[in-house]
A and B are shown apart, each in its own frame.
Chain A
Amino acid sequence: GENVEQHPSTLSVQEGDSAVIKCTYSDSASNYFPWYKQELGKRPQLIIDIRSNVGEKKDQRIAVTLNKTAKHFSLHITETQPEDSAVYFCAAYQGGSEKLVFGKGTKLTVNP
């Protein structure tokens, strides 16, 4: 089955710096890769996603890149702000299985 590894587990940056979170997946059949943000005590919320036929996608300060050959994808947050502090989860959708397999999460802290 699919396995998703996520690094780092914790990340601390200064406000205004960039943050990068990396994930690798094992199943080459996976074709959809969402990222979720979970603030303390709240539900995970979808922030951006990418499909396997696209190499990069941007939404304001957030971007995701996908390297299908290497089976890894990354979340990039530029000009970080304190409200970006949260736990971020990557996930891979195993085609036909109707399930998302999540990484273990990255706790991002943005220091003012």
Chain B
Amino acid sequence: KAGVTQTPRYLIKTRGQQVTLSCSPISGHRSVSWYQQTPGQGLQFLFEYFSETQRNKGNFPGRFSGRQFSNSRSEMNVSTLELGDSALYLCASSPAGARGYTFGSGTRLTVV
């Protein structure tokens, strides 16, 4: 059974650019959540999607957005990148909600 797949694994972007990250959940999982991980701040919740609907959103600026497709794959987009957006972005999937998350390996974004 394939795990949660995130692409790309690494990204280097310039300040002001935008970026799109992808997450393919475990087959059958309909809930996908995104987290930002930085040293000292732990895992900060970005948003959660279920059946193409955003059910919850964390305290991040509107530059951070996401969506989920009918096949449960999810993307998150960050526009007008800032240096402080450099982080590991993790997505997690589960059958129905926040219980029993399985995380992907993450996308490490570096903004220069």
Contacts and interface: CB of A to CB of B under 8 A. Distances in A.
Interface residues of B, number: 25
A42 B40 CA distance: 17
A95 to B, nearest CB: 9
B100 A98 contact: no
B101 A98 contact: no
A89 B44 CA distance: 12
- The binding surface of chain A is classed by DSSP as strand
Interface stretch (B12-20, B61-69, B70-78, B102-110): B102-110
Contacts of B104: 43
A25 interface: no
A102 B103 CA distance: 14
B66 to A, nearest CB: 13
A99 B44 CA distance: 10
A43 B31 contact: no
Contact of A32 (B48, B99, B103): B99
B42 A104 contact: yes
Given A32-B99, A44-B90, 18 more contacts: A32-B98, A43-B103, A43-B105, A46-B100, A49-B99, A93-B98, A98-B48, A98-B50, A98-B56, A98-B97, A99-B56, A99-B98, A100-B33, A100-B45, A102-B35, A102-B43, A103-B42, A104-B42
24 contacts: A32-B99, A34-B101, A43-B90, A43-B104, A44-B103, A45-B103, A46-B101, A89-B42, A93-B99, A98-B33, A98-B50, A98-B97, A98-B98, A99-B33, A99-B45, A100-B45, A100-B98, A100-B101, A102-B35, A102-B44, A102-B45, A103-B42, A104-B41, A105-B42
